[in-house]
Structure 1
Amino acid sequence: MSGVAKGGGLGVRGWLLVGLITVVILAATGVWNPFPTMWDWVDRSEPISEPDLVWQQRVGGTPKSVTIAGDAVIVEQRTRVEARSLATGTQLWERKADWAAVAGSDREPVVAVGRLLVKGYELLDPTTGVVRRRDDQAVAVWTYRNALLDVRCAQPTDCTLTAWDPRGTRPLWKAFLPGVHSGLLADNPDLLGTRRLTAPRIHREVAGPEPVPPLLGFPVDGRVHVVDTATGRVLQNVQPGREERLAVIGGRLLRITATSRDGTCYFAISARDPATGQEVWRRTGVNLRTADYAGCVQREDPQGARNVLIGVAPDGREAVIDGYDGRLLHVGAEGEKVIAVDDRYTLVRSADKRSIVGRELSVDRVAWSRAAGGKSGGALTPYAALIAEEKPSRLIAVDPRTGRELVVLRTSANALAVGPHGMIIGEGREIGYVRWGAGAAVPPPADEGGVPRPAPDSTYQVPSDQGSCGPKRELCYSEDGG
């Protein structure tokens, strides 16, 4: 009897199989589907920061870049771009795209998107995803806070560079270029300017779009074409010498020479006014880290940011140089290391590697100092100075002027984007938003308003009071149009 009863029952495994088949049938017929809820429970996100963030969301793919654009967060991924609400993190829209870049100010941003190996691009509203302007011929796009440039080529040696207001529908100016780099270049191809310092766990584009420089250097077939971004005039068409590297920085054309002699490299910098070709300033013996010491061949752009350069003096001390007039804005002590720089401030690691010092370039004085490990990295943005620490892993944002803490996060995530009131951090596919502390919002830089206007007798403006305008007053203009 017991043998018959035992053999006739389904047993635990049998009932489990029947239950699984029943659930599959119910899910397939749409009556009841528990699988999404079960998967959400298994795949739930762990907080990526302490203290917790305003919001944390998982995006469709690993972000290539993240930018705060007004009230939206633009997340560029490998084959698509999506926008999320800055306030809540909810998805606003999504598009298939191979690249995306934000242009415009915090108040009036736009998003340029396009496909690789396909000409043209679309300009989208960051909040709605609505197309504001469409182009079907451009092969490259450069995005700035106060301008958008694109280039199209009728023939390989017949190209037109066009400047636009980010939200405008009519070109501001057009300029002829005898070609561009070969192929379709997508967004923000490299031009001949400064090479940014980088730091672990801080994205290289964390600061978002910058104001368009007064001059841009376009490399074409071994020559450099210098374009005035206020008027579209091509001021110079220069062939570098055998030992030269050219860079366009701070409204000047820099001719950097590296000569191999006596087993070392001898450096010289000559800065010229592109409008006249005359030398404006010269410095010798300063190494801008353009050469790799293999025959002193210069393969890199000089280190720096916007209108300033970082050089190494013959005695090994680092210096920050004004690209416009060659002034030494900062000379470090022996053993000190510049880890971040812009037109207003610099972050310096102390010689004993126990602290990071914030310095104001306009007066070359210490603005603040805080303890930090020897491997800590940093970055400067218009709204905050960032410090990434290890052991323990932390991300710290401070006011670049005073050193006042805006937020301190215990996290191994990366700093992806900084805005006026907070920043986006991310780890893998998880991203989240943290606000600055109560009352800690940093005043934004002066609104650039448009493409820089030319000075009366030059392509660039003579510096005076720097303040928040930057060393070259590129963010401020006087009433007389200077």
Structure 2
Amino acid sequence: MTVIVLAATGVWNPFPAMWDWVDRSEPISEPDVVWQQRIGGTPKSVTIAGDTVVVEQRTRVEARSLATGTQLWERKADWAAVAGGDRDAVVAVGKLLVKGYELLDPTTGVVRRRDDQAVAVWTYRNLLLDARCVQATDCTLSAWEPRGTKPLWTAFLPGVHSGVLADNPELLGTRRLAASRIDSGVAGPEAVPPLLGFPVDGRVHVLDTATGRVLRDLEPGREERLAVVGGRLLRITAASRDGNCSFVVSAVDPATGHEVWRRAGVNLRTADYAGCVQREDPQGARSVLVGVAPDGREAVIDGYDGRLLLVGADGEKLLAVDDRYALVRSADKRSILGHELSVDRTRWTRPAASKSGAALTPYAALIAEEKPSRLIAVDPRTGRELVALRTSANALAVGPNGMIIGEGREIGYVRWGAGTSVGHPSEEGSAPKPNPGGSYAPPSDQGTCGPKRELCDDGG
């Protein structure tokens, strides 16, 4: 009894190994993660920002070392969002219903910039936008480099919805395909699109993110929904005819107002089946759209020029897409097929259960399987496994060298190369080559620039 009391009070610990065992959580995966930590609450979002892991919780945000999982700092905050890339990341934090935000250094938590007037913030890999409103119909939008101290440009908008909106209010773009056990923000912040669509009082303001110029200000028709995708303004019409919804999609160059492409009969899944009312953004990612042809086959459409980048076979199901790759479940529901959108053939095939989910990130394609529960990361071009885990945890964030997984309050980091199996997929090409530091090389810059480099400043 004396020994137990002394140990509990910290005076003396005669069995340190025993107490370490009692305090240790069960491993959340097999093979084991590099590190595993219990945080204060269930995370709302997790983002890898350079050498740190930023964890947003309900009333606070914290940063941990990517190498060890050790907590670096913690702040009270109702919302948090990461802007910037590996070398210039910042963490925007704020309080609900309170104007303003602070930008924190992800490693130290030190305030790099403070604002006390903004009502909304949008975070991207290469830009941060904020909005200030003198009145509900008098707002100014400013663009900043992630660690910049002066705005790159400012623009007038007649409102940004209403009230104080915190981080990343919805704009008129695409909505990603969802997957069970893979967080919707697993890929981290993306590069800002060339154009953004701001919905204000039933109208849409199309803004050029390079200059801040508002190119279009228009009101959708009664049967229309507007979206801004791949540098184009899409006008999606859904009309009820003979008991069915009839769809027409046309793309307009906002700078000139001229129509550049049109497709009829393609369902972008924007409509409510009761009366063909369009309540949703089209499905897709970055500069591509996901459509369903009248014969039920799914297709990937280039938002910029309307080209069909991929048309699935009868019975195939699209699981994930970006502007480089697509992951498709085979018609017999026994395999996942990897496609490169610039190549007109299947790149790789791997066995998969019928209810497997998938997602694409700049560094890896993720596959979540059930019965047994597994998380698998593969190179999206070759299908070669980067990591294969037996776990019921969720994939929370992906970085260049590994990913964060989590279950409840437990999070852990796994590096690429842990528990991989060779020869599982039928693949074309070689395995991803390691960097000098031992990590796998990320895909080419096409993922940032888009298939035609339309997202890059040089346009070359």
Normalised to the residue count of structure 2, the TM-score between the two structures is 0.91
Contact 2:38 2:411 in 1 (8 A): yes
Structure 1 residue aligned with 2:293:
313
Name the aligned partner's letter for residue 135 of structure 1. Answer: D
Deviations 1:157-185 (A, max 9, x none): 00000000001001000010001111211
Which structure 2 residues correspond to residues 95-244 of structure 1 after superposition, within 5 A? 95-244=75-224
Deviations 1:8-38 (A, max 9, x none): xxxxxxxx8xx79x959x95xx96799x999
Structure 2 residue aligned with 1:441:
439
Q: How far apart, in 2, do the equivalents of 1:193 and 1:268 lie?
A: 17
1:389 to 347, 369, 374: 369
Name the aligned partner's letter for residue 143 of structure 2. Answer: A
Structure 2 residue aligned with 1:455:
none
Structure 2 residue aligned with 1:457:
none
Q: Structure 1 residue 359: deviation in Å? A: 0.1
Structure 1 residue aligned with 2:258:
278
Contact 1:23 1:33 in 2 (8 A): no
Q: Structure 1 residue 254: deviation in Å? A: 0.3
Q: How far apart, in 1, do the equivalents of 2:159 and 2:448 lie?
A: 37
User: Measured at CA, do residues 217 and 469 of structure 1 come closer, stay the same or move farther in structure 2, by a change above 3 Å?
Assistant: closer
1:83 to 63, 66, 80: 63
Task: List runs of 5+ in structure 1 lacking aligned partners.
Answer: 1-15, 448-465
Contact 2:193 2:455 in 1 (8 A): no
Output the aligned Cα RMSD: 2.2
Contact 2:83 2:92 in 1 (8 A): yes
2:386 to 390, 406, 409: 406
Report the secondary structure of 1:122's partner residue. Answer: strand
Task: List runs of 5+ in structure 2 lacking aligned partners.
Answer: 419-433
Q: How far apart, in 2, do the equivalents of 1:225 and 1:142 lie?
A: 16
User: Measured at CA, do residues 477 and 186 of structure 1 come closer, stay the same or move farther in structure 2, by a change above 3 Å?
Assistant: closer
1:361 aligns with 2:341: yes
Q: Structure 1 residue 437: deviation in Å? A: 1.1
Q: How far apart, in 1, do the equivalents of 2:218 and 2:273 lie?
A: 25
Name the aligned partner's letter for residue 87 of structure 1. Answer: A
Q: Structure 1 residue 472: deviation in Å? A: 3.0
Name the aligned partner's letter for residue 358 of structure 1. Answer: G
Answer with 174-183 or 343-352: which moved more: 174-183
Report the secondary structure of 1:274's partner residue. Answer: coil
Q: How far apart, in 1, do the equivalents of 2:255 and 2:273 lie?
A: 33
Name the aligned partner's letter for residue 170 of structure 1. Answer: K
Q: How far apart, in 1, do the equivalents of 2:448 and 2:39 lie?
A: 36
Q: How far apart, in 1, do the equivalents of 2:454 and 2:414 lie?
A: 30
Report the secondary structure of 2:318's partner residue. Answer: strand
Name the aligned partner's letter for residue 361 of structure 1. Answer: L
Q: How far apart, in 2, do the equivalents of 1:98 and 1:37 lie?
A: 38
Deviations 1:37-69 (A, max 9, x none): 999765530000000111000011100010000
Q: How far apart, in 2, do the equivalents of 1:129 and 1:141 lie?
A: 19
Q: How far apart, in 2, do the equivalents of 1:352 and 1:71 lie?
A: 42
Name the aligned partner's letter for residue 312 of structure 1. Answer: V
Between the aligned residues of both structures, percent identity stands at 83
User: Measured at CA, do residues 216 and 476 of structure 1 come closer, stay the same or move farther in structure 2, by a change above 3 Å?
Assistant: closer
Q: Structure 1 residue 474: deviation in Å? A: 3.7
Q: How far apart, in 2, do the equivalents of 1:467 and 1:162 lie?
A: 26
Contact 1:72 1:85 in 2 (8 A): yes
Contact 1:446 1:469 in 2 (8 A): no
User: Measured at CA, do residues 445 and 133 of structure 1 come closer, stay the same or move farther in structure 2, by a change above 3 Å?
Assistant: farther
Q: Considering only CA atoms, is the larger Rg found in Structure 1 or Structure 2?
A: 1
1:303 aligns with 2:294: no
Name the aligned partner's letter for residue 233 of structure 1. Answer: R
Name the aligned partner's letter for residue 95 of structure 1. Answer: R
Structure 2 residue aligned with 1:332:
312
Structure 2 residue aligned with 1:44:
24
Deviations 1:368-417 (A, max 9, x none): 11000000000000000000001110000000011111000000000000
Name the aligned partner's letter for residue 172 of structure 1. Answer: L
Q: Structure 1 residue 444: deviation in Å? A: 3.5
Q: How far apart, in 1, do the equivalents of 2:145 and 2:452 lie?
A: 22
Name the aligned partner's letter for residue 130 of structure 2. Answer: D
Q: How far apart, in 1, do the equivalents of 2:11 and 2:390 lie?
A: 45
User: Measured at CA, do residues 475 and 222 of structure 1 come closer, stay the same or move farther in structure 2, by a change above 3 Å?
Assistant: closer
Name the aligned partner's letter for residue 170 of structure 2. Answer: D
Q: Structure 1 residue 205: deviation in Å? A: 0.3
Name the aligned partner's letter for residue 281 of structure 2. Answer: D
User: Measured at CA, do residues 137 and 38 of structure 1 come closer, stay the same or move farther in structure 2, by a change above 3 Å?
Assistant: farther
User: Measured at CA, do residues 386 and 192 of structure 1 come closer, stay the same or move farther in structure 2, by a change above 3 Å?
Assistant: same
User: Measured at CA, do residues 279 and 104 of structure 1 come closer, stay the same or move farther in structure 2, by a change above 3 Å?
Assistant: same
Contact 1:250 1:472 in 2 (8 A): no
Q: How far apart, in 2, do the equivalents of 1:357 and 1:244 lie?
A: 34
Name the aligned partner's letter for residue 415 of structure 1. Answer: A
Contact 1:362 1:467 in 2 (8 A): no
1:94 aligns with 2:74: yes
Which structure 2 residues correspond to residues 23-62 of structure 1 after superposition, within 5 A? 23=5, 42-62=22-42
Report the secondary structure of 2:272's partner residue. Answer: coil
Contact 2:387 2:417 in 1 (8 A): yes
Structure 2 residue aligned with 1:7:
none
1:63 to 35, 39, 43: 43
Q: Structure 1 residue 363: deviation in Å? A: 2.0
Q: How far apart, in 2, do the equivalents of 1:428 and 1:405 lie?
A: 26
Contact 2:362 2:447 in 1 (8 A): no
Matched positions, count = 440
Deviations 1:250-295 (A, max 9, x none): 0000000000111010000010000111111000000000012100
